[in-house]
Amino acid sequence: MEKRNLLFVIPSLSAGGGEKSLVNLLSQIDFTQYDVDLFMLNHDGLFMDFIPTDVRVLPLPETYQLFSKNITKAVKELLMKGKLSLAYNRVIFTLKNKYKKNVSTREQYTWRHLEKSLGRLEKNYDVAIGFLEKTSTYFCVDKVNAAKKIGWVHIDYDKLGMDPKFDIRYFQRLNNIVTVSEECANIFKNRFPSEKNKVEIVYNIVSPTMIHKMAVQDSRDLYNKNNNEIIILSIGRLHFQKGFELAIEACKILVDKGYNIKWNIIGEGEERKKLESIIKLNKLEDHFNLLGLKANPYPYLKQADIYAQTSRFEGKSIAIDEAKILNKPIIVTNFSTAKDQITNGIDGVIAEMNSNSVAEHIEKLIQDEGLRKKLINNLSQLKLGTEGEINKLYGIFSGLDI
């Protein structure tokens, strides 16, 4: 049987749940049946080393390499090469990025300038997958020849502030739209009723075997834990979506009550300076740490006492699934898809989306040993691997009913 040609598109593998989800998915692909290409706009990133060797990373076009330099160099070099139109689009791209406040609409409205630097891929694919919202999907639709095109929505669509009028033109040209949870699917169908018959649900692929193996790769005391110190861990991009200022405020409440806690965040992002200033303002330098990115976060997760997710919105959080696999007491805020992942009081606790409620639920986890043991015991009995989700995807590739 002849192999099928697949293309996955993602801006980068720098960090993030969607990026980790793609790496996990690629590790499960049957390469005896599929030839897999990967197109990215940035070849640096935390997860680059995790790309399977069977995956071919496509080179970046020279025009895009010029376009993506800083504005002065880009315009100068494009003009020297006689690419006047592209130099003009580089200037407009910069201006729109500067003056559009919402990050999501900025990415939408700058696409028509960015895409001028990207030629159409020459190869014909059986299936092309835009693995994240916005640019990945736009590239898949505008720049790829494929018999079947799939878009992937990892989030609660309504929460990022995207312009649905911009996206509908792209969703109409896709064969399928994959979401990562029932709630995400319902939100998407309500927003785009004309496209609801295209929607499929494929859960993020997580492998307990891999996570347990990686969790014991570093046995050092990663937190320099003091006697009776309670270690709380959160994982996520330093972004408004993750609500980390709620975590800092909750930490302050607990410290003021006399709790000996150290709250750590693994992740990086545009809110680092803002969060550092809030930490300093609250004199929490000894209690709240921004650890940056970690290629292997699992030893940190294994050594934590509590996992906390203070998000304003999520699709389906991979970090929560990973904390479940390592049997951590989990607290999450009541974002729209929280109940897709946590049954309150059974495999975690759900707080309201404010710092007082978060602090109150953490305090309960600290004080109530019986509750902690109950959560840990319940988690230890769950079957949490989702490697089988790859079969759903094969079905979508083939056009079968799932």
Range of the domain at 391: 4-58+121-205+387-398
Look at residue 402 in the predicted model and tell me its pLDDT: 36
Residue 74 covered by a domain: no
| Residue pLDDT, tens place only, 162-218 | 999 999 999 999 999 999 989 899 999 999 999 999 999 999 888 888 889 889 988
Residue 64 covered by a domain: no
| Residue pLDDT, tens place only, 107-116 | 999 999 999 9
**Cβ neighbours of 59 (radius 10 Å):** 10
212 or 159, greater pLDDT: 212
Angstrom distance (rounded) from CA 261 to CA 229? 5
Residue 39 covered by a domain: yes
Whether 391 and 357 map to the same domain: the answer is no
Whether 229 and 360 map to the same domain: the answer is yes
Residue 92 covered by a domain: no
Look at residue 401 in the predicted model and tell me its pLDDT: 42
Residue 10: which of 140, 126, 157, 114 has the closest Cα? Answer: 140
Query: What's the pTM?
Result: 0.82
| Residue indicated by tokens 């390592």 | 326
Residue 97 covered by a domain: no
Whether 215 and 186 map to the same domain: the answer is no
Whether 140 and 238 map to the same domain: the answer is no
Whether 253 and 328 map to the same domain: the answer is yes
Whether 227 and 193 map to the same domain: the answer is no
Whether 192 and 262 map to the same domain: the answer is no
Look at residue 18 in the predicted model and tell me its pLDDT: 83
Look at residue 210 in the predicted model and tell me its pLDDT: 82
Whether 29 and 178 map to the same domain: the answer is yes
Look at residue 214 in the predicted model and tell me its pLDDT: 87
Residue 34 covered by a domain: yes
185: CATH: 3.40.50.2000
Whether 149 and 238 map to the same domain: the answer is no
Dihedral angle, C-alpha 300, 301, 306, 307, nearest 10 °: 120
Total tally of structural domains belonging to the chain: 2
**Cβ neighbours of 391 (radius 10 Å):** 12
What percent of the chain is predicted at pLDDT more than 70? 99
Whether 151 and 199 map to the same domain: the answer is yes
Whether 181 and 322 map to the same domain: the answer is no
Residue 240 covered by a domain: yes
The number of angstroms, rounded, from the C-alpha of 94 to the middle of its chain's C-alpha atoms is: 25
Residue 37 covered by a domain: yes
User: Which tokens sit at 385?
Assistant: 């691997």
| Residue pLDDT, tens place only, 316-339 | 888 999 999 999 999 999 998 888
| Residue pLDDT, tens place only, 225-264 | 887 899 999 999 898 889 999 999 999 999 999 999 999 9
400 pLDDT higher than 60: no
Look at residue 274 in the predicted model and tell me its pLDDT: 96
Contacts of residue 59, defined as CB under 8 A and 6 or more positions apart, other chains included, come to none
Look at residue 1 in the predicted model and tell me its pLDDT: 66
Whether 274 and 350 map to the same domain: the answer is yes
